Amino acid sequence: MPKPRSLLLRRLSSLLVTGGLVATSAACGSDPLIVTGRVDVAVSPDTTVVVDFPTATTLVRSPRAINTSVAGECTVERDFFSVIVSRDEASTGLRNVHISSDEASVDIGGVVYSGLEGVGCLIATRVSDPGYGTITFDVDCALDDGEGNTVSAVGALSFEGCH
């Protein structure tokens, strides 16, 4: 018959291991998506709309903002990244900013302006770490709506908690 103390220790250590696995599992996948930075989108010489996160801001993890003020998605791989910051589709002004390694687009009041990296559009990755889910990049792009109207998007954003 095992000693009561050793049986208690085995059960306790088993409980700690199980609790640790549950806590670790709960933490993975629930990492917050955090953004800092600013992108100015010049619509005309006297009108600029802005995505501005002067302090670390946690976004609802979704490509569309539904019943929330702002949402986002972020993917970082070894040679590629893609981020989306969006507001509710019913909002006026800047609804969506999507920037990836090879293109950028903005939705302003339902009109989408886009541009490809290298074609009047510079998207420069400063820091990228897929293992930690982080990306920091600069963007300086002339974006076109397909009908000859253009806007410019200039700024830098940093994301943590990307998949």
CA–CA distance, 139 with 39 (Å, rounded to integer): 8
Inter-residue contact 118 to 103 (CB < 8 Å):
no
How many CB atoms within 10 Å of residue 79?
A: 8
Per-residue pLDDT 10s for the chain (163 aa) are 555 544 444 443 333 333 333 333 333 456 899 999 999 999 999 999 999 999 999 999 987 777 668 899 999 999 999 999 999 887 788 999 999 999 999 999 999 999 999 999 999 999 999 999 999 999 999 999 999 999 999 999 999 999 9
